[in-house]
């Protein structure tokens, strides 16, 4: 997939600099409350955060291709001081190690990033400083939210009421760098069969491409995560290919590919 992306981005005249990160599996990585593999995920995110920080210091737009959505903890932290974050997803990903029923870290990244939720004491995440406020996040595609993720959290979990935005275009009018965290399961399942937690009734390809195009047109898109693409979950090669192709077309739209083509005829060029 990385090669396909690099080649096609080259055709958009993007100057692509690829880097591959290697992560360690930490032995005896016992759960912290319900959060599974906290040390492995925490250390990996620490590494990713520094890598993203370097890419941004270099003045580049950062594209992270994953991997599960827990990588947004590192990606958004490394991008730091950015807002808004567009969270494109069927899920809110705002469980905490206390509320998570699955124990999956990819259902929790928003909670780790929010100042309001004060998730702390998680082994592996000693480096993390929550950098987002609830009002900085815009959800698109949301349609599968756990009870504990509802904006009014039970008092016994000591979390406060949050006012989360589902879609609020005025956020995008702020002249600040935008971070797009794109979970492919936000799209309708037939578009991305090779993903872990499909939910019916998702965003169409046309709508998804439109979102990416509009973000490109703001000129403010500064970092993009594309996550939950899992080739091992494709039942056939065709399912794998269609998932990758869908993700690639969203990415290319976010980096300037126009469906009508780029108008560089003498009449329109300066």
Residue numbers annotated as active site: 69, 89, 91, 93, 106, 183, 185, 228
Compute the least distance from the CB of residue 12 to Mn ion, in Å.
26
DSSP notation for 43-83: HHHHHHHHHHHHHHHTTPPEEEE-S-GGGHHHHHHHH-S--
Cβ neighbour number for residue 72 with a 10 Å cutoff? 30
Residue number of the CB closest to ligand DIR reads: 107
By CB under 5 A, the count of residues binding Mn ion is: 8
Give CA torsion, residues 15, 55, 140, 109, to 10 deg: 150
Residue 232's contacts (CB-CB under 8 Å, 6 or more residues apart) are: 194
Compute the least distance from the CB of residue 210 to ligand DIR, in Å.
22
* Torsion sign across C-alpha atoms 215, 89, 92, 114: negative
SS3 243: helix
Among 39, 43, 79, 106, binds Mn ion (CB under 5 A): 106
| 181 in contact with ligand DIR (CB under 6 A) | no
| 195 in contact with ligand DIR (CB under 6 A) | no
Compute the least distance from the CB of residue 256 to ligand DIR, in Å.
28
Nearer to Mn ion, 226 or 249 (CB): 226
Site for ligand DIR in 229-258 (CB under 6 A): none
Among 39, 43, 56, 69, binds ligand DIR (CB under 6 A): 69
- Respond yes or no on whether the N-terminal peptide bond of residue 246 is cis (omega within 30° of 0): no
| 183 in contact with Mn ion (CB under 5 A) | yes
| 159 in contact with ligand DIR (CB under 6 A) | no
Among 146, 207, 213, 241, binds ligand DIR (CB under 6 A): 146
Nearer to ligand DIR, 16 or 148 (CB): 148
Distances (CA, A) of 45 to 78, 100, 129, 136: 9, 19, 12, 21
The one-character DSSP state at 24 is P
Compute the least distance from the CB of residue 76 to Mn ion, in Å.
13
Tokens of 188: 């309708």
Helix (H) or strand (E) segment spanning residue 111: helix 109-113
Query: Where along the sequence are the contacts to Mn ion (CB under 5 A)?
Result: 69, 89-91, 93, 106, 183, 185
């Amino acid at each position: 997939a990385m090669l396909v992306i690099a080649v096609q981005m080259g055709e958009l005249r993007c100057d692509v600099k690829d880097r591959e990160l290697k992560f360690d599996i930490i032995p005896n990585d016992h759960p912290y409350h319900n959060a599974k593999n906290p040390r492995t995920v925490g250390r990996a995110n620490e590494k990713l955060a520094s890598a993203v920080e370097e890419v941004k210091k270099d003045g580049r737009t950062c594209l992270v291709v994953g991997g599960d959505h827990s990588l947004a903890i590192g990606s958004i932290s490394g991008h730091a001081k950015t807002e808004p974050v567009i969270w494109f997803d069927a899920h809110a990903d705002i469980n905490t190690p206390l509320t998570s029923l699955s124990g999956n870290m990819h259902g929790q990244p928003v909670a780790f990033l929010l100042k309001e939720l004060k998730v702390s004491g998680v082994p592996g995440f000693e480096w993390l400083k929550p950098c987002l406020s609830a009002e900085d996040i815009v959800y698109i595609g949301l349609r599968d939210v756990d009870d504990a993720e509802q904006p009014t959290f039970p008092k016994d979990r000591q979390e406060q009421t949050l006012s989360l935005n589902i879609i609020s275009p005025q956020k995008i009018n702020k002249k600040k760098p935008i971070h797009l965290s794109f979970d492919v399961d936000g799209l309708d399942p037939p578009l991305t069969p090779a993903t872990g937690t499909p939910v019916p009734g998702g965003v169409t390809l046309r709508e998804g491409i439109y979102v990416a195009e509009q973000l490109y047109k703001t000129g403010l898109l500064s970092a993009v995560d594309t996550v939950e693409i899992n080739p091992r979950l494709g039942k056939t090669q065709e399912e794998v290919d269609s998932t990758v192709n869908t993700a690639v077309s969203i990415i290319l739209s976010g980096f300037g590919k126009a469906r009508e083509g780029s108008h560089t005829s003498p009449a329109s060029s300066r």
